[in-house]
Amino acid sequence: MEEDESASAGGAGGKAHSSRAAAIGQRLRLDIINGRLPPGSKLHLEELREELGVSLSPLRESLTRLVAEGLVTSQDQRGFAVAPVSRENLLEVIDLRTILETKALKSAIDKGDDAWEAEIISAHHVLSKLDDQRWVEPYFEQWEQRHKAFHDALIRASNAPLLLSFCQTLFDMSHRYRKLFVRKNPPRRDIAAEHKELLAATLKRDADSACRILARHIETTGKNILLAMKAGSQGSAR
């Protein structure tokens, strides 16, 4: 109770409370995205509190934030649960990601400077070093982190905090689907060539081409996930 009361008093206690909630949320977000917490599984507050070594107040706050991000669901009297996965949800994620990420890229190309160009070149170089080992342990997670860093770098110069936040949330939701389904059924896809093409168009400041390439890149990911989901459901039905 002392911890919660100090948080509600504002000042240093409130900042510490908010910081704890953010850290808890990031831990849970990664566990959900990476599949450690399966879709639809119930999130028991007491179990999580003991596992994470935190009080209930910042835990509830972090879960509420994840509800707003679409990674957790909340129902009256039934508590919290990991958001389920579905074909309909995936299609919405891919559609929104295509719209918002291309919007952010177009803005970044318009506003980006030489430092931004250097950042995306560097992010692409680091990503490309693991392209041949994308599906190999222990490099899979490293490639995924570098992949996100490249996509983040592409749109960062848009300088639109709310838009960038939405893009990051949608990217994480898409990643969750890829981790759950595509990793078990890797597609035949030259994603390295797609990234090179996207980088080249961006550096040329050809916004129309870059956005078209990015849209196709995201939509291809969606199609591959749908195929993997279908293959998984057929396999489980046998």
Query: CA-to-CA distance for 131 and 109, rounded, in angstroms?
Result: 25
- Please write the tens of the pLDDT for every residue from 104-128: 999 999 999 999 999 999 999 999 9
Q: What angle do CA 184, 139, 171 make, to 5 degrees?
A: 65
Burial of 72-97, coded b for 16+ CB within 10 Å and e otherwise, reads bbeeeeeebbbbebeeeebeebbebb
Q: What is the pLDDT of residue 89?
A: 96
Q: What is the per-residue pLDDT across 10-54, written as a single tens digit (0 to 9) for each? A: 555 566 667 888 889 889 998 998 888 999 999 999 999 899 888
pTM here is 0.85
Closest to 47 (Cα-Cα) out of 65, 20, 69, 28 = 28
Evaluate if residue 237 carries a pLDDT over 70: no
Model pLDDT, residue 159: 94
**pLDDT for 18:** 74
Angstrom CA distances, 200 to 78, 109, 148, stand at: 50, 12, 18
pLDDT at 5: 40
186 pLDDT tier (thresholds 50, 70, 90) = confident
What pLDDT sits at residue 12? 55
C-alpha 232: how far from its chain's center? 22
Tell me, what's the pLDDT at 141?
86
Whether 7 has a pLDDT exceeding 70, the answer reads no
Summarize pLDDT for 88-102 with one digit per residue, the tens.
999 999 999 999 999
Question: In the structure encoding, which two tokens stand for residue 17, read together?
Answer: 């409370």
Query: Residue 234: which pLDDT band, with cuts at 50, 70 and 90?
Result: low
**Does pLDDT of 198 surpass 70?**
yes
Instruction: Please tell me which residue, 86 or 182, carries the higher pLDDT value.
Output: 86
Higher pLDDT, 77 or 22: 22
Mean pLDDT of the chain: 89
Least confident piece of the model among 51-65, 94-108, 210-224 = 51-65
Identify the residue with better confidence: 21 or 130: 130
